[in-house]
């Protein structure tokens, strides 16, 4: 009878509460593929996933606005209840504008933008400093040159050098996260200066030989796997805890959210 009473007592003990996650933030990067292939339907799919995830910050590339197409970042930010920063080399008031964006659900402490060298390539970087539960964090969004030849590598190298200068001038002492479509593999020579200072969130979490076969280019559109969309983090102040692909399944037969997959990462503040 005593054993039965002990068993009953154990049975009514409250379940142990889940341990709270260490302080940190989550980030998404995603190339929207501008307004191609039924944007009104695709945006609903993208919105549902982002609503479910509630990331602290979102980096978007290939964002477009034009007649009959509201700025895609503005539309998503409005539906999510997020603030946003859109950057473009097309001046305000132009009938068509194209560029990158950052969205955040956190308070914005500072914002900025920069046209990357070489200026003739029309590439930009957006910057927000956000408040993550009292901790300031710098987030940057960019999209580098797409050429796969030697000249493309040279241009990306110049863009990375200029990006790092912009970060040094704007980040202060707060941790740095850099996200976007880099059009280069994480170990490419054009990204070496960036990799010397910042960690690869997806590669840090998935440390095995199969990472080489992971692609952020949608395999429905591109034959060879190529992981070119990245979330980099400042390794002395942040630690990557989780990372996975988004939008890597069709939402209907033959219908995809984009010609890229998205990347989601959860970063923790370093002790």
Looking at residue 212, its pLDDT comes to 81
Looking at residue 9, its pLDDT comes to 41
Tell me the pairing of strands 97-104 and 57-65: antiparallel
68 phi/psi in degrees, rounded to 5: 75, 0
SS3 content of the chain, % helix, strand, coil (to 5): 30, 35, 35
pTM of the model: 0.91
SS3 state of residue 192 = helix
The angle at the Cα of 42, spanning 40 to 43, to the nearest 5 degrees, equals 70
pLDDT in tens, the chain (271 residues): 444 443 444 344 444 444 456 799 999 999 999 999 899 999 999 999 999 999 999 999 999 999 999 999 999 999 999 999 999 999 998 999 999 999 999 999 999 999 999 999 999 999 999 999 999 999 999 999 999 999 999 999 999 999 999 999 999 999 999 999 999 999 999 999 999 999 999 999 998 767 888 999 999 999 888 999 999 999 999 999 999 999 999 999 889 999 999 999 999 999 8
């Amino acid at each position: 009878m005593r054993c039965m009473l002990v068993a009953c007592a154990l049975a009514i003990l409250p379940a142990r509460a889940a341990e709270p996650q260490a302080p940190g933030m989550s980030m998404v990067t995603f190339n929207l593929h501008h307004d191609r292939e039924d944007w009104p339907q695709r945006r609903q799919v993208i919105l549902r996933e982002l609503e479910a995830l509630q990331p602290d910050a979102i980096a978007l590339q290939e964002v477009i606005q034009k007649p009959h197409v509201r700025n895609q970042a503005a539309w998503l930010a409005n539906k999510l209840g997020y603030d946003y920063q859109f950057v473009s080399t097309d001046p305000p008031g132009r009938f068509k504008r194209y560029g990158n964006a950052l969205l955040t659900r956190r308070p914005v402490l500072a914002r900025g933008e920069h046209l990357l060298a070489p200026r003739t390539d029309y590439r930009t970087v957006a910057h927000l400093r956000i408040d993550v539960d009292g901790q300031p964090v710098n987030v940057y969004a960019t999209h580098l040159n797409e050429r796969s030849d030697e000249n493309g590598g040279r241009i990306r190298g110049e863009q990375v050098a200029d990006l790092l200068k912009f970060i040094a001038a704007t980040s202060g002492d707060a941790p740095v996260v850099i996200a976007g479509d880099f059009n280069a593999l994480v170990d490419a020579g054009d990204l070496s200066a960036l990799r010397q200072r910042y960690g690869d969130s997806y590669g840090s979490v998935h440390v095995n030989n199969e990472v080489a076969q992971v692609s952020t280019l949608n395999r429905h559109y591109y034959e060879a796997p190529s992981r070119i969309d990245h979330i980099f983090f400042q390794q002395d102040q942040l630690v990557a805890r989780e990372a996975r692909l988004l939008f890597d399944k069709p939402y209907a037969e033959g219908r995809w959210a984009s010609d890229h997959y998205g990347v989601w990462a959860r970063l923790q503040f370093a002790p």
